DNA sequence: CTGAAAGCGCTTACAG
DNA sequence: CTGAAAGCGCTTACAG
């Protein structure tokens, strides 16, 4: 049952059926009713492939993230899907694994299928495919990290302030030797978190102490291990994302070191398990759902043409004090 | 740049270009080379919408799950995406929230876009849309829970044995009052986990003690709270999925009850945070990645026509003894 | 082995 | 306001 069947049954042209289906106001009430009835009786559903080909746009949006298993992105994707499907769009998910090559292939595929728009947590912010998509009038919203093409919108968190907040909290609790497990300095997020840390440390006249953990579980584990094996281990630790925190917790547990008495801990990111680990983690949390909602809103503004100038929105982190930092909630 | 551009440049017909693109062997080597060169020089990429319309099949597969934020499904979706994209398919993700109505709408949308196949963790296993998809020759692989249409394939875990294993472990550790926080008896997974529990308890001459937790965090919290507030609280607890376990842990932590000395705990599902909570959780784990790989393999067998008879594959759970059960690893 | 042509199911100028 | 017709970019019988 295609649009022709409906047209025949309603005794109108396919053009009229199409207009009714797309809520074109210039259709006579009589015709509209006839079409609606035929649609209902036949159980007609428009073929999205045909519509997409004709419009040169598939009714879908994409979330391109490094790894959906990371609770940060799972939360983001969940929110995006909710809003996208409410707006009539289908959701495509791509995992880049932080590989520029995978990102390249996925962005190319999104162009090939004429996606309506995408939310991209970029692995390679300079990729030519980003510009290619924008050239095709496919809006791109950068998430977490910005991209170099100035036509893209962006939704980011204030990473610099995040680690600075963590440092100040620990200084307030009396710590002076505060180390940072950093992640991927070649990413904006990673670099900004280091910046905030260094700034706050210097401001307090303290020496920064940074180990790289690559934003991954194993990296966090090795970095923490290196710090704790040092003959002068730090008294406090900031871990700059949730995956590295898992690695850090593994080392801490295996080494028998007591948190927070022997080592105070503050983690960036607030995954749902943060309050159930031992001890419950003090975190600086990104408002992930709000950021995702913001990203979809920016995307839909572009799609509808309601806005044409690029927008960048910066969300503040939020301090969630639990017990791992050794400071009690007020 | 379309297929016509390529045909012109290579001085062949579009039919020949199409054949080369689709690896039709009946193309002369000379023609093939000319087409390939033109494709490369023009940077031509086939329009997937057009191809989809013509073939009546979009080159994408879908994962329909209750909630991608549940680490169980995040892991499943991650694996499915890896394999699907390696096979040239795009991945669509739908969250049903355990709502039959949402499931209905999503399955309908998948039909509307002529998806190549789907992996479905069904909320409503009897939904007519499942049969509609199968009627359209769109293969459906049921995941976790089976569906009633016998034409669908299925990949499930041996839930009955899972809880039975947990019960036997706790009995072996000397427990006799072992309660179960159950989830949604109207789902196959939930019901089977209860069955296994009851069977193993009866087998040992013990009285079952079951509270419903709805498979959700809040439900697990309320169920555990009810059990612990009882004037004869159980000495051991089995929680039948990872979300309810989070709820249970919250109550346990707030009540100050010591695990495993005052309450032994075994959880079904083995999310990555299971070994970092306090105390590390003893779990019965589903081989989620393997199950997902299996599901994609079954799907692709259907797509290629390599298999036409339905297959159901049952994966065993695996016991991961940590400290929450009060039994030390061997 | 190769090409001309039909057709997948829509939308949208264009004409009336 | 409504319809006839072109066309989106492919694939695939069909004929040669």
pLDDT of residue A273: 83
Q: How confident is the model at residue A272 (pLDDT cuts 50, 70, 90)?
A: confident
| Low-confidence residues in chain B, pLDDT < 50 | 329-330
Closest CA to B50 of A286, A112, A88, A106: A112
Q: Which of chain C's bases lie under 7 Å from a protein CB?
A: 1-5, 7-13
CA dist A239 and A170 (Å) reads: 13
Across A97-120, average pLDDT: 96
Report the nucleotide nearest the CA of residue A56, measured to C1'. D8
B63, B65, B89, B93: best to mutate for the A interface, most A CBs within 10 A: B93
| B174 and B184 Cβ atoms separated by less than 8 Å | no
What is the helix (H) or strand (E) element at residue A184, kind and residue range? none
pLDDT of residue B275: 84
Q: Is A135 helix (H, G, I), strand (E, B) or coil?
A: helix
Cβ-defined contact of B277 to A276 (cutoff 8 Å): yes
What is the helix (H) or strand (E) element at residue B184, kind and residue range? none
Q: Which two tokens stand for residue A181?
A: 């497990």
pLDDT of residue B277: 82
Which residue's CA shows the smallest distance to C1' of D4? A13
Q: How confident is the model at residue A258 (pLDDT cuts 50, 70, 90)?
A: very high
3-state helix, strand, coil in chain B (%, to 5): 45, 15, 35
Which chain A residue shows the shortest CA-CA distance from B247? Answer: A276
pLDDT of residue A329: 40
B277 DSSP 8-state letter: B
A46, A48, A132: best to mutate for the B interface, most B CBs within 10 A: A48
pLDDT of residue A328: 53
What are the strands, taking DSSP E only, across A79-151?
A: 90-95, 117-120, 140-143
| A92 and A110 Cβ atoms separated by less than 8 Å | yes
Closest CA to A179 of A140, A212, A136, A204: A212
Q: Which residues put CB within 7 Å of chain D, the nucleic strand? A: A 12-16, 19, 25-28, 30-32, 50, 53-54, 56; B 2-4, 14-15, 17-19, 21-22, 44-47, 50-51, 53-55
Q: What are the CA-CA distances from residue A251 to residues A219, B181, B276, B282 (Å)?
A: 11, 32, 10, 19
Q: Which residues of B touch A81 (CB under 8 A)?
A: 68, 93-95
**For chain A, what is the total number of helices (H) and then of strands (E)?**
12, 12
Cβ-defined contact of A48 to B93 (cutoff 8 Å): no
CA dist B18 and A94 (Å) reads: 27
Report the nucleotide nearest the CA of residue B24, measured to C1'. C1
Cβ-defined contact of B53 to A47 (cutoff 8 Å): yes
Residue with tokens 């700059």: A240
pLDDT of residue B51: 95
Q: Angle, to 10 degrees, between the axis of helix A71-86 and the axis of helix B71-86?
A: 80
In the predicted structure, residue A233 carries a pLDDT above the cut 90? yes
Cβ-defined contact of B113 to A90 (cutoff 8 Å): yes
CA dist B69 and B89 (Å) reads: 23
Distance B1 CA to D1 C1' (A): 37
Distance from CA of A183 to the nearest CA of B (A): 20
CA dist B224 and B321 (Å) reads: 21
3-state helix, strand, coil in chain A (%, to 5): 45, 15, 35
What is the helix (H) or strand (E) element at residue A244, kind and residue range? helix A242-255
| B267 and B274 Cβ atoms separated by less than 8 Å | yes
CA dist B330 and B315 (Å) reads: 24
This prediction's pTM: 0.92
Q: Which of chain D's bases lie under 7 Å from a protein CB?
A: 1-5, 7-13
Distance B35 CA to C5 C1' (A): 21
Q: What are the residues facing A154 on neighbouring strands?
A: A142, A312
What contacts A182, CB < 8 A, 6 or more positions away? Answer: A190, A193, A194, A197, A210, A211, A212, A213, A223, A240
pLDDT of residue A196: 97
| A77 and B68 Cβ atoms separated by less than 8 Å | yes
Strands B178-182 and B236-239: parallel
Cβ-defined contact of A112 to B275 (cutoff 8 Å): no
Closest CA to A304 of A27, A103, A57: A57
b/e map B38-66, b = 16+ CB within 10 Å = bbeeeebebbbbbbbbeeebbbbbbbbbb
Which chain A residue shows the shortest CA-CA distance from B84? Answer: A94
Closest CA to A94 of A129, A47, A51: A129
B325 DSSP 8-state letter: T
Closest CA to B323 of B278, B285, B273, B287: B278
CA dist A328 and A238 (Å) reads: 17
Mean pLDDT over the full length of chain A: 94
CA dist B146 and B36 (Å) reads: 45
| B297 and B258 Cβ atoms separated by less than 8 Å | no
Closest CA to A72 of A215, A198, A281, A180: A215
What contacts A277, CB < 8 A, 6 or more positions away? Answer: A249, B273, B276, B277, B278
CA dist A182 and B78 (Å) reads: 25
Q: Is A153 helix (H, G, I), strand (E, B) or coil?
A: strand
Report the nucleotide nearest the CA of residue B51, measured to C1'. D10
CA dist B95 and B218 (Å) reads: 19
CA dist B80 and A205 (Å) reads: 50
Distance from CA of A266 to the nearest CA of B (A): 16
pLDDT single digits (tens) B42-81: 999 999 999 999 999 999 999 999 999 999 999 999 999 9
Q: What are the CA-CA distances from residue A217 to residues A81, A143, A238, B7, B225 (Å)?
A: 27, 22, 15, 50, 33
In the predicted structure, residue A330 carries a pLDDT above the cut 50? no
pLDDT of residue B278: 79
CA dist B311 and B295 (Å) reads: 10
Region for residue B42 given its phi and psi (left: phi exceeds 0; alpha: psi -120 to 50; beta: otherwise): alpha
Q: Length of chain A, please? A: 330
pLDDT of residue B232: 95
Q: What proportion of chain A, given as a percentage, has pLDDT over 70?
A: 99
Residue with tokens 């746009």: A57
pLDDT of residue B132: 95
pLDDT single digits (tens) A133-189: 999 999 999 999 999 999 999 999 999 999 999 999 999 999 999 999 999 998 889
Distance B4 CA to D12 C1' (A): 16
Q: What are the CA-CA distances from residue A153 to residues A118, A237, B30, B84, B160 (Å)?
A: 11, 34, 47, 29, 50
pLDDT of residue B330: 36
pLDDT of residue B254: 87
Which residue's CA shows the smallest distance to C1' of D8? A54
pLDDT of residue B144: 95
| A178 and A209 Cβ atoms separated by less than 8 Å | yes
Across A256-268, average pLDDT: 95
């Amino acid at each position: 049952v295609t649009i022709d069947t409906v047209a025949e049954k309603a005794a109108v042209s396919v053009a009229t059926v199409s207009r009714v289906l797309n809520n074109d106001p210039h259709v006579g009430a009589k015709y509209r009713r006839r079409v609606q009835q035929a649609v209902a009786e036949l159980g007609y559903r428009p073929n999205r492939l045909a519509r997409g080909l004709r419009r040169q746009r598939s009714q879908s949006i994409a979330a391109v993230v490094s790894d959906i298993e990371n609770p940060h992105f799972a939360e983001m994707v969940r929110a995006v899907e909710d809003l996208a499907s409410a707006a009539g769009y289908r959701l495509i998910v791509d995992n880049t694994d932080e590989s520029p090559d995978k990102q390249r292939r996925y962005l190319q595929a999104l162009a090939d299928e004429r996606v309506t728009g995408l939310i991209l947590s970029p692995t390679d912010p300079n990729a030519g495919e980003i510009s290619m998509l924008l050239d095709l009038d496919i809006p791109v919203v950068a998430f977490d990290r910005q991209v170099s093409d100035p036509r893209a919108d962006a939704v980011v968190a204030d990473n610099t302030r995040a680690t600075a907040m963590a440092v100040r909290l620990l200084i307030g609790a009396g710590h002076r030797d505060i180390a940072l497990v950093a992640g991927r300095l070649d990413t904006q997020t990673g670099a900004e978190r280091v910046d905030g840390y260094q700034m706050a440390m210097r401001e307090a006249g303290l020496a920064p102490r940074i180990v790289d953990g690559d934003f991954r579980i194993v990296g966090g584990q090795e970095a923490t291990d290196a710090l704790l094996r040092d003959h002068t281990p730090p008294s406090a630790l900031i871990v700059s994302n949730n995956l590295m925190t898992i690695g850090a917790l593994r080392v801490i547990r295996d080494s028998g070191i007591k948190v927070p008495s022997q080592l105070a801990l503050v983690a960036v990111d607030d995954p749902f398990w943060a309050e159930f680990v031992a001890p419950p983690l003090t975190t600086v949390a990104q408002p992930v759902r709000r950021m995702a909602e913001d990203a979809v809103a920016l995307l839909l503004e572009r799609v509808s043409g309601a806005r044409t100038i690029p927008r960048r929105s910066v969300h503040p982190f939020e301090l969630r004090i639990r017990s791992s930092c050794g400071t009690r909630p007020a």
